[in-house]
Structure formats: structure tokens, C-alpha cells
A and B are shown apart, each in its own frame.
Chain A
Amino acid sequence: MFFPYKDTASRIHLLDARPKIVFVLAAFIFSILLSDILYLSALFVLVLAISISAHTLKSTWSLLRYALYVAIFVVIFNVLLSSGRHVLFVIGPIAITSESILFSISMCLRLFLAVSAFALLTFAIHPDEALRTMSRVGYKTTTALSLSTRMYPTIANDSRNIMDSMRARGVEFDQGGFLKKVKARANVVMPLLFNSLDRSVAIAEAMETRGFGAGKRTNYSESRLNRRQKMMIASFVLSIVFGISLFVLGYGNADYLNGAGFHYGVDDFLVLAAYVILLSPILAGGGK
């Protein structure tokens, strides 16, 4: 049965969820803040290295594949619609400029960084652990999130069963043109929605009878952070503070559409090294 998270004895899996969540948060922030190709590439490679260490590269790739489709659109749109002075070549009425190409690459890298960080959250952090960690911030919201993870296989199963029942009523899902297939699949939406509504009422009832929201909770696996984990969290938080400060000073921010290119000084490499040094402790992972 499909379930995204798989228990693995990798160093990354053995690490407490809290430093991992702070790391993912940092990677998300950087994917929004940074636009420089070199900075983004370095961080993307770092996240991929973590995926390799967590043995989740294959799963990460399955998500990146979807991001790749989006990336193709991003490139096409930017190349067609963005202007620039440095024309590389001309295809009919369209002039392809180096500005639009660099901007597209930067956008795609941002997307890849965000998706691979999200993959880390999905494949290398136990959903229940994630729930526990985040519950300190907003317990009800995070429970809803955890439930959606828990219910994913159930809903996927429901949708398979509904498709089977439709097939038995003569609906062809796999034959005919694209529009016919889309129309056939649209039939699944209503029963799936009705079933999911029934389920959500049943689950809400079950949670209520298990005392959800009754009062102050306790936390079963409340483990104290050890020194190493504390240092990791501190390092990642520092990287966020560092990243935001340096971003304000103009590091890692390249306006490719206005002619920014690959002009790096020693300071750039020092800043980049600082990023990597602050974020790479996660590779040490956790141990028994």
C-alpha cells in the first residue's frame, strides 16, 4: 500500500524531528529569498546530499519529476515573454536572450530547492513526530495535517474502489480520447466527495470520544534535546538570521532580467561557505 514515509535506519531518519524541521524551514526560506544561481545550486546540492544520506533520493526524484513539468512551463513562459538586451539567438519572431534564460534557471532552481526540502519533510520525518513537534505551535492545525497523511491511503483506496464500481457500470476510464478520459474520471469526484464527508464526520466523532480538545494535553514522547541536536537547531536558526541579513546587504540576490550575470568576488564565496557550514551539520544525522 502506498505510504510516503518509510522507516529506515539512516542517519537522517535517526535524527530527532526538531532539527530536521528547522532545517526544512531554513531551506524553504532560502528558496524564497535567494535568486542567485550559484547560491541556489549549492543549497540544492546540499539538500540532495541529505536525500542520498537518508536513502530517499528515489522518492525525492519522484516529486522532482513533477516539478520538472512545471519547470518546463516556467522556462517556456519566461523565454517567450521576458525581454533582455543580450540576444543569444532568434527563432522566427522570438528573440531568446541570456537574461530570460538565466532568470528561468534561477526560478527552476528555487522550485527544485523547495520541492526537495518538502521531500525531506515527507520522506525523512515520521508524520507522527512531525505532528508532535508542530503541535506546540498549533495542535489542531497539525492534527488535521497528520490526519490527511494518515487518510491518504484510505482515500486513494476509496477512489480505486469507486473507479471499480464505475467500470462495473460500464464507464470506460482507459479508452477513447483525452476529453473522454477526463469526463470519465470526473464521475469519480462526487462519490469520493460524499464518502470523504461521511468519513470526516466519523473521524471527528471518534476523535471527540477519545478526548480530543478536552483540556491540557501531555506529550508521550517528550524527549529532551541533546547537546548535538541543540547545536544543530542553533546553527540552522543562525543560518536563517545570517541569510536574511546578508540578503538585505545584497548577497545571493541576482536580478537577471536587468542584466545581472556571474560576477562573484571573494566575499561571495565566503558567504556561500558560511551558508554551507551552518547548514551541513544535518549530514551528521542522529545516532543510537
Chain B
Amino acid sequence: MISVERLTFTYSGADRPVIEELSTEIREGEFVLIVGKSGCGKSTLCRALNGLIPSFYGGQFSGRVLVDGRDTRQTAPSKFADVIGMVFQDPENQLVMTNVENEMVFGMENLGVPVREMKERVVQYADYFDLRRFFHRFIPELSGGEKQKVALGSVLAMNPKYIILDEPTSQLDAENAALFLEFLTKLNREFGVGIILVEHRLERCLRYADRVIVMDDGRIVADGSKDEVVPVLRRQGLLGDIIRAVSATALDGEPLLTARNIHFSYDHTPLLEGVDLVLKKSELVAITGANGSGKSTLIKQLNGLLKPQKGSVTLLGTEVSSVTTASIAKEIGYMGQNPNDYLFEETIEKELEFTLSNLGIDANEWNERIEWTLSVLDLSGCRKTFPRDLSCGQRERTALATILVGRPQILVLDEPTRGLDYWSKNKLGAVLEDLRRQGMTILLITHDYRFIAEHATRVLRLKDGKLHGTSIDQMIFLASENAVTGDV
């Protein structure tokens, strides 16, 4: 059993605790879901359960955490590896070796598992996770879903009693996420492994949990079965009915961007095979599709980050392949998947000035533009803040601000809802809707059916190298099929 007794923890340099007087117990074989807004202390609690906090982070720690009777302050986190395994959000940051077989044995070797037993477990779990076909593949070449499966398989091979998973599906498409979560349920039932899962996408995972812990501001505000906590989740703004914010009527006007017959291959593997796309003023177009279907590759063609091997893209009468991305950045803004790629200056204000200076905007306009951008994105209070000190949702909005400050006519966003909690997603949705009403055209990639159902004017699915029109109603159906409201 893991027992948390009156735990209070403050990160060094912070002025208030992230967890306060928190007590709970997690028993073997439970499937526990921990939910709450960004910054409520979920990840901190997870790290306290196996001693990463305080031993890895320092800070002020009071109360105690006992794992099978052992105090986490008196034992190194690595010594808990045989009891508690951990799977993190980004598979890229948790796989250490270069091939799958070696990755699977890395943890067992560290624990000193005898070679004969290691071999037995490798066979057992590789078969169970269907990893054999990847055995000698290089890990960097695997897809996100495959990597996350390797991470889970490698942790499970260490035979832990509990596995903590910190947003493990945030980078997976709906199908892979569902498979991953079903797999967790199977592990829980067949092997009796305790699952402690932190997730934002409640519609994905609520149905699997025996017990849900709801956190707010460093404390547990509800702890019970999913039926018991749903009202609390609704009150907290973590769950809600699908409310469509836009009308999906067709919009008239000249096309701003036209892509015709786009073809693109990576290493002779065709990814885009004749994609056509037209964007008009004041549209919010969502592109969906499985992991690896070529969505990111497609949107990079639109502002010239990648050049189509066949076909053409025309932006406001200019052939995109004949100009540089930077030279059309004023017309078409692009935000990649990782907001951190946009953040390096000392303050948010300087980040925005960096963009304005590169785009050659008259310095007299800077202040007005910065004020407008920060107010649209609800960041006015953070103008002088170091961007890397911000929460996940705020970072996302800051990265968006660095693009928005150029006031492009078209905004292209690659998975902007990734890793955001329900509240931050709603906030982002409202911002995008506001921008769209002001005349901006938005194209975004997302796996989030609910976000599409609530905010998109049009939805397209990329499949087999081509874009296919899909109805918003279909998205509403898929979103509500997953939603807890219909399920619980």
C-alpha cells in the first residue's frame, strides 16, 4: 500500500505550496484516476509517491509518504523501481536505449534480475505487448504510439506492484489512446497491477477507473467512484456538455489559400497523394487523422516549410514555393506542436518584440499590437513574466501570441490542444472563435473530437494521403460517444 500522510510540498523558489496537507491511501490492484486543472498538484503528487519528490527536486517537504512501509525520504527513488513503475507524458524523454529489446531489459538489469529470468520476462512481455516485430528497430524510428507501448512494456517487465502514468495518451490519436487505455485495464485485471493514472482527457479515461481522485489547488476535493465524482467534476469545470460555439454555414468570398494536388513522400514512402485544400476568410477548419497520417507534413506545405514534390500552393496570389516562409509570415502564421520552441526571451513582451522586429513592423505600432495580443489571449498580467515560468496552458497561449502579434490573415496550428486541461482548452477555443469572428482564418490539426465539435466550421480527415470531408455532426457523435455524460 502507498500511504500519503499530511503531505505538504513547496518547490524551491515558489512562495506557496503546490500540495497542502494531503492524505490518501492507494491499495494494490486499484485503478485510480487523478484529475484536476493544470497546476493543481497532480504531477507533483505522482512524483511524491515514489520519492522523486523531494529527493530529485529539493524544496520544502513535510508529512510523509510510505511505500509498503518504507519512507520515501529515507530511500532513493531508484530503490522503489521494483515496486513503483512510472510512464511519462513524452515517450521521447523516457526511452534510454537505442533498440526495443535493450530498452525492455534496461530496468531489469538495473534491478539485478538474473539473466535467465530476464529472458523469460522479455519473451512474455514482448508477446503480450506485440513488441517482437520491433525488437531490433531503432527507437527514434518508432511512432508515438509504439514508443509509448515500449515504455509501458519496459516498466511492466520490472514487475512493479503499481504503475504511475502521467498523461500517457496526450500525444496519441483517439484510436491509439483507446487501445493504450484498454491495455492498462487488462494489465490491472490480469496481472493485478495497481494503476495510478493522471489524465486531462476525461472523456477518454473516466470509464476505466475504479476510483477517481479530484484535486484542486493542492488538495483532494473528491475521492470516490466515477458516479460519485461526476458532479464535482462538472462544478470544477472539468466536465461539461458539448456546446457548439459556431454555426457551420458555408462562408463566401475569394479563397485566401489554395493547395492543389499536393504530393509529398518521405524516404520514398508516399504520405500526401494529391491533397486539395481551399481556405476562405473567417473559417476554422480542423484536420484530423491517425498518428503518422501526414497532417503535420501537410500544413508545413502551406507556408513553405516543406515544398510539395508535386502540386502547388497559392497564398493571396503568390506561389508559396517561390518565396521563403519568413517572407510570408505576415500573411500566414504557423505554430508547431511544442510551444517551448517559441519561448526563449526573458519576458513575454520581448518574445513578441522579437517577432515584430523580424517581420519589419514599424516600432510605433509595437505597443498597440502587444497590448492587443496579450489582451486577446488573456495574458496582460504576464507581460514581464519569464515565459518558461508559465503553466502549460499559458505557455501555449504565449507561443500563440508570438505568432498572433504579426496579425496574420491565416493562422495554422499543429495540435494546439495537446496537453491542455478542459478549462485551458475552452479558453483557447474561445480565443480562436473570437479571432475567427474578427476575420481571421484558422486551420488546425487536432485529435480532439470534442474541440472540433465545439469550435470548427469545417472538418477534414486525412486518410490514405488525401483529405476527405467529414461532417461536424459526425464529430459531435464521436465526441459524445466517448463522453462520460453518455457513458456513466
A202 near B88: Cβ-Cβ < 8 Å: yes
Q: From residue A245, how far is it (CB to closest CB) to chain B in Å?
A: 39
Stretch at the interface among A60-68, A105-113, A207-215, A232-240: A207-215
Set of chain A residues within 8 Å of B344, measured between Cβ atoms: 187, 190-191, 194
For residue B339, which residue of chain A has the nearest CB?
A: A165
Q: From residue B358, how far is it (CB to closest CB) to chain A in Å?
A: 3
- Select A218's contact among B56, B114, B326, B329, beta carbons within 8 Å: B114
Q: A168-B329, A172-B324, A219-B115 are in contact. List 4 more A-B contacts (CB 8 A).
A: A161-B341, A165-B341, A211-B78, A213-B110
Q: From residue A72, how far is it (CB to closest CB) to chain B in Å?
A: 32
Q: Give the complex CA separation of A191 and B99 in angstroms.
A: 28
Q: From residue A277, how far is it (CB to closest CB) to chain B in Å?
A: 35
A220 near B108: Cβ-Cβ < 8 Å: yes
A210 near B106: Cβ-Cβ < 8 Å: yes
Set of chain B residues within 8 Å of A126, measured between Cβ atoms: 98-99
B340 near A195: Cβ-Cβ < 8 Å: yes
A3 near B138: Cβ-Cβ < 8 Å: yes
Q: From residue B65, how far is it (CB to closest CB) to chain A in Å?
A: 15
Stretch at the interface among B89-97, B186-194, B201-209, B436-444: B89-97
Set of chain B residues within 8 Å of A161, measured between Cβ atoms: 336-338, 341
Scan residues 228-273 of chain B and give those whose CB is less than 8 A from a CB of chain A: none
B343 near A194: Cβ-Cβ < 8 Å: yes
Set of chain A residues within 8 Å of B80, measured between Cβ atoms: 209
Q: Does A198 contact B (CB under 8 A)?
A: yes
A203 near B93: Cβ-Cβ < 8 Å: yes
The total number of A-B Cβ pairs within 8 Å is 194
Q: Does B196 contact A (CB under 8 A)?
A: no
Chain A residues at the B interface, C-beta cutoff of 8 Å: 1, 3, 5, 7, 126-128, 131, 143, 146-147, 149-150, 153-154, 158, 161-162, 164-165, 167-175, 187, 190-191, 194-195, 198-199, 202-220, 222
B98 near A167: Cβ-Cβ < 8 Å: no
Q: Give the complex CA separation of A202 and B93 in angstroms.
A: 6
Q: Give the complex CA separation of A7 and B141 in angstroms.
A: 14
Set of chain A residues within 8 Å of B123, measured between Cβ atoms: none
Q: Give the complex CA separation of A96 and B160 in angstroms.
A: 71
For residue A190, which residue of chain B has the nearest CB?
A: B344
Interface residues of A: mostly helix, strand, loop or mixed?
A: helix
Set of chain A residues within 8 Å of B324, measured between Cβ atoms: 167, 172, 174-175
A191 near B341: Cβ-Cβ < 8 Å: yes
Find the residue from A1, A167, A170, A190 having the highest chain B CB count within 10 A. A170
For residue B88, which residue of chain A has the nearest CB?
A: A206
Set of chain A residues within 8 Å of B111, measured between Cβ atoms: 211, 214-215
B118 near A218: Cβ-Cβ < 8 Å: yes
For residue A154, which residue of chain B has the nearest CB?
A: B92
- Select A206's contact among B96, B98, B114, beta carbons within 8 Å: B96
Set of chain A residues within 8 Å of B329, measured between Cβ atoms: 167-170
For residue A203, which residue of chain B has the nearest CB?
A: B93
A128 near B110: Cβ-Cβ < 8 Å: no
